């Protein structure tokens, strides 16, 4: 590891950046250096600007991705190299809002039933049953499962916040069966090294393999199970505030978007077309 990279990591640690953010920022600077084949501290503002425009125009990266890379570069120049504020221009555009494709309850059943590996099935069941992010489920420990209160404790989730979510009875039975065979020592779902958690990438691969086996063609990765949890809870009549707390959303606005995804919410609304008094189409020539 170069001195410059270590200095950047140290600066991010001092500011409390998450490990994933540190990795993304370091990767952004490494790619900038690789593009020009020179040390990043030797690359001037004009070259940086040209690089960002290349990402946007030629490599067709999304506007959001370019903004994230610009933030990493800005941090590197200002906080690591001690330069004055660097202004990087990116073509402005409206942020695209895309709704995820939601798995139906039947599709979740097929997904989980397609798994023959006990560890893999328990991992995905836990993700869905608690509405967990992938980074949260892989870091779960046995002590986080509170069978007395029927809750799962998520330690230092997104935004460095602790929270609780529900522990389903069926999941508790599954976890007990899993425990009898695997006896995890530290993390509930360990990786190749028993004292380290399963990687996020491995969890994603497990989900995609199960999705293929179940014949599910909807887009989305393992985070789809979290979306499905929130949507199915809303359709079951659970109020938005409770779902917000279990999901760990800072704002109720983040939770309210599931109103757009709930089939129950849509089916309860009558279209104005259905209110019109029209002749039956069979009477038309």
Q: Are 110 and 148 members of one domain?
A: yes
DSSP state of 157: -
Task: Determine the 3-state secondary structure of 153 from DSSP.
Answer: strand
Residue 264 has what pLDDT? Answer: 58
Q: Are 117 and 199 members of one domain?
A: yes
The answer to whether position 221 is within a domain reads: yes
Residue 236 has what pLDDT? Answer: 86
What is the domain-level CATH number for residue 120? 1.10.443.10
Domain count of the fold of the chain: 2
| Catalytically annotated residue among 25, 178, 207, 258 | 258
| Nearest-angstrom CA–CA distance, 28 and 47 | 15
pLDDT in tens, 217-258: 999 999 999 999 998 988 888 888 998 898 888 888 877 777
The answer to whether position 276 is within a domain reads: no
| Catalytically annotated residue among 121, 226, 227, 232 | 226
Q: Are 13 and 74 members of one domain?
A: yes
| Catalytically annotated residue among 158, 208, 257, 265 | 158
Q: What does 139-155 look like in DSSP terms, one character per residue?
A: T-BGGGEETTTTEEEE-
The pTM of the full predicted model, rounded to 2 decimals, is 0.70
Mark whether 98 is an active-site residue. Answer: no
| Nearest-angstrom CA–CA distance, 4 and 120 | 40
The maximal CA–CA distance of the chain, rounded, in angstroms, is 81
Cβ(254)–Cβ(244) below 8 Å: yes
Mark whether 31 is an active-site residue. Answer: no
| Nearest-angstrom CA–CA distance, 89 and 66 | 10
Count CA atoms closer than 13 A to 205's CA, side-chain side.
5
Cβ(71)–Cβ(22) below 8 Å: no
| Nearest-angstrom CA–CA distance, 47 and 36 | 9
The answer to whether position 92 is within a domain reads: no
Q: Kindly give the confidence (pLDDT) of every residue in the chain, 285 residues in length, as a single tens digit, with 9 standing for 90 and above.
A: 688 899 999 999 999 888 888 999 999 999 999 999 999 988 888 898 889 888 878 887 777 788 889 899 989 988 888 887 666 665 555 566 677 888 999 999 999 999 999 999 999 999 999 999 999 999 999 999 999 999 999 987 676 788 999 999 999 999 999 999 999 989 999 998 888 999 999 999 999 999 999 999 999 999 999 999 998 988 888 888 998 898 888 888 877 777 766 665 555 666 676 667 776 666 655
Cβ(203)–Cβ(123) below 8 Å: yes
Residue with the two structure tokens 């046995």: 142
DSSP state of 78: I
> What burial letters (b/e) apply to 96-105, b meaning 16+ CB within 10 Å?
eeeebebbee
Mark whether 158 is an active-site residue. Answer: yes
Q: Are 119 and 217 members of one domain?
A: yes
pLDDT in tens, 33-74: 999 999 998 888 889 888 988 887 888 777 778 888 989 998
Supply the range of the domain harboring residue 56. Answer: 3-80
Cβ(236)–Cβ(131) below 8 Å: no
Q: Which domain-ending residue is among 80, 96, 113?
A: 80
The answer to whether position 277 is within a domain reads: no
| Catalytically annotated residue among 153, 223, 257, 265 | 223
Q: Are 55 and 193 members of one domain?
A: no
The answer to whether position 94 is within a domain reads: no
Q: Are 138 and 50 members of one domain?
A: no
First to last CA, the chain: 78
Q: Are 169 and 52 members of one domain?
A: no
What is the domain-level CATH number for residue 24? 1.10.150.130
In whole angstroms, how large is the CA radius of gyration of the chain? 24
The answer to whether position 27 is within a domain reads: yes
| Catalytically annotated residue among 121, 133, 227, 232 | 133
The answer to whether position 23 is within a domain reads: yes
Cβ(4)–Cβ(76) below 8 Å: no
Mark whether 223 is an active-site residue. Answer: yes
Residue 30 structure tokens: 């490494």
């Amino acid at each position: 590891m170069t001195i410059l990279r270590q200095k950047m990591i140290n600066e991010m640690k001092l500011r409390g950046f998450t490990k994933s953010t540190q990795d993304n920022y370091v990767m952004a600077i490494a790619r900038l250096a690789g593009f020009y084949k020179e040390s990043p501290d030797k690359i001037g503002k004009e070259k940086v600007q040209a690089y960002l425009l290349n990402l946007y125009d030629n490599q067709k990266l999304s506007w959001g991705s370019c903004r994230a890379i610009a933030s990493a570069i800005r941090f590197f120049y200002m906080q690591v190299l001690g330069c004055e504020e660097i202004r990087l221009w990116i073509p402005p555009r409206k942020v695209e809002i895309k709704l995820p494709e939601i798995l139906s309850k039947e599709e979740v059943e097929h997904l989980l039933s397609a798994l023959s590996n006990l560890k893999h099935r328990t991992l995905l069941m836990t993700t869905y049953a608690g509405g967990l992010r992938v980074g949260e489920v892989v870091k779960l420990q046995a002590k986080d499962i509170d069978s007395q209160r029927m809750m799962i404790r998520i330690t230092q989730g997104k935004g460095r916040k602790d929270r609780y979510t529900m522990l389903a009875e069926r999941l508790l039975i599954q976890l007990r069966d899993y425990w009898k065979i695997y006896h995890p020592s530290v993390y509930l779902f360990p990786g190749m090294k028993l004292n380290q958690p399963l990687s996020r990438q491995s969890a994603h691969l497990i989900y995609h393999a199960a999705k293929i086996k179940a014949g599910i063609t909807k887009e989305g990765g393992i985070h789809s199970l979290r979306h499905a949890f929130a949507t199915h809870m809303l359709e079951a009549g659970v109020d938005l505030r409770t779902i917000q707390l279990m999901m760990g959303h800072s704002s109720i606005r983040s939770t309210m978007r599931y109103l757009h995804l709930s089939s129950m919410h849509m089916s309860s609304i009558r279209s104005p077309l259905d209110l019109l008094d029209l002749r039956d189409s069979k009477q038309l020539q």
